[in-house]
Amino acid sequence: MIIDCHGHYTTSPRALQDYRDSQIAGLKDPSYKPARAKLNVSDDQIRESVEGAQLKLQRDRGTDLTIFSPRAAGMSHHIGDATISEYWSEACNDMVHRVVALYPENFIGVCQLPQSPGVDPRNCIKELERCVNQLGFVGCNLNPDPSGGYWTDPPLTDRWWYPLYEKMCELDVPGMVHVSASCNPCFHFTGAHYINGDTTAFMQFLTSDLFKDFPTLKFIIPHGGGAVPFHWGRYRGLAQDMKKPLLKDHLLKNVFFDTCVYHQPGIDLMTKVIPVENILFASEMVGAVRGVDPETGFNYDDTKRYVDASALSAADRRKVFEDNAYAVYPRLKAQIAKQRGKGNR
């Protein structure tokens, strides 16, 4: 089985965005009372939204299962307050759950958290519990910068985040460190803010002893880990200058990278320098880059081709495509069995 650990519901039905637009309009209206979404979306609309997109790409590219979460830029935790974020997160997570319910063999859910700048991360626990315990989700996306490009919340290694980490450990779910839209004009979202968020989180982990406090906590850093594999020598050297243990002992039991790197030389570098146990297959589709690479004739984000063409052995490719996902998402295997037991469309 080929598991893509990083897919977003970027094609959700219009009604979801309409609800968000009503929230945003409400922020300018003093009489606005935030209310939970009651979306009128039919199963056929859900099917239409993925049949020609994520499902088609799974079939075309020969992948089997996508670990699926709400649109990352859509999270925009900087918009409104914690209540706005709570209602919006519930609506987005419910919509992902609708997809999973219709296509239990093809998708497994990961949730957006109702973060809000400056708001205690304890606030996210209720929604995380709901998504894991009631909806069968196997992880969460954690935004290291709810401010959307101004980085005003504490680093991920601060005790500020510990109550959430305790709950993640208790529920046995990992977090994908994923920023959202940027409201800072310095940062293009998919071209700068995402990649910077990845690099920043890794360096926060490197300078800390977070995983001494949480030995079972696991994070996936998406987009190939930002700049990290390219600068692997720099990071090894910085850790060494700081008298930290070797990176493999210091954080590679807890930190993993996905393969959302959109050219062969990038994947070749990554598979050369990062231990294979720390690499999870992913494509981020339908996502950041939608075109066809004229140098290859295939979509930039058809990352399976790069992994297939890399120097990895068949056994190692299997780790990247499947086995590592079971190790990083401890609830995944049972959830797959449960969803497949239910039968498919």
Active-site choice (86, 105, 284, 322): 284
Write the DSSP string, 116-153. -TTS-GGGGHHHHHIIIIIT----EEE-S-TTSSS--S
Q: Which CB, 36 or 290, lies closer to a second copy?
A: 290
CB of 164 to a second copy, least distance (A): 17
Which parts of this chain interact with a second copy (CB under 8 A)? 144-145, 149-151, 153-155, 158, 184-188, 190-192, 195-196, 199-200, 203-204, 206-207, 223-224, 226-227, 229-238, 240-241, 261-263, 265-266, 268-269, 272-273, 288-291, 293-295, 300-301
Q: Which CB, 25 or 246, lies closer to a second copy?
A: 246
CB of 110 to a second copy, least distance (A): 22
CB of 107 to a second copy, least distance (A): 24
CB of 175 to a second copy, least distance (A): 17
- DSSP structural state of residue 310: S
CB of 203 to a second copy, least distance (A): 4
Q: Which CB, 45 or 204, lies closer to a second copy?
A: 204
- Of residues 14, 93, 9, the one with CA closest to residue 54: 9
- Each as own residue / partner, the long-range contacts of residues 334-340 (CB below 8 Å, 24 or more positions apart, any chain) are 335/108, 335/136, 335/138, 336/65, 336/108, 338/136, 339/100, 339/104, 339/105, 339/108, 339/136, 340/104, 340/105
Q: Which CB, 83 or 190, lies closer to a second copy?
A: 190
Q: Which CB, 93 or 199, lies closer to a second copy?
A: 199
The amino acid at 56: K
Our answer to whether residue 322 is catalytic in this structure is no
Helix (H) or strand (E) holding 5: strand 3-9
Write the DSSP string, 6-59. EEEETT--HHHHHHHHHHHHHTT-TT-----------HHHHHHHHHTTHHHHHH
Helix (H) or strand (E) holding 93: helix 82-102
Q: Which residues are catalytic?
A: 284
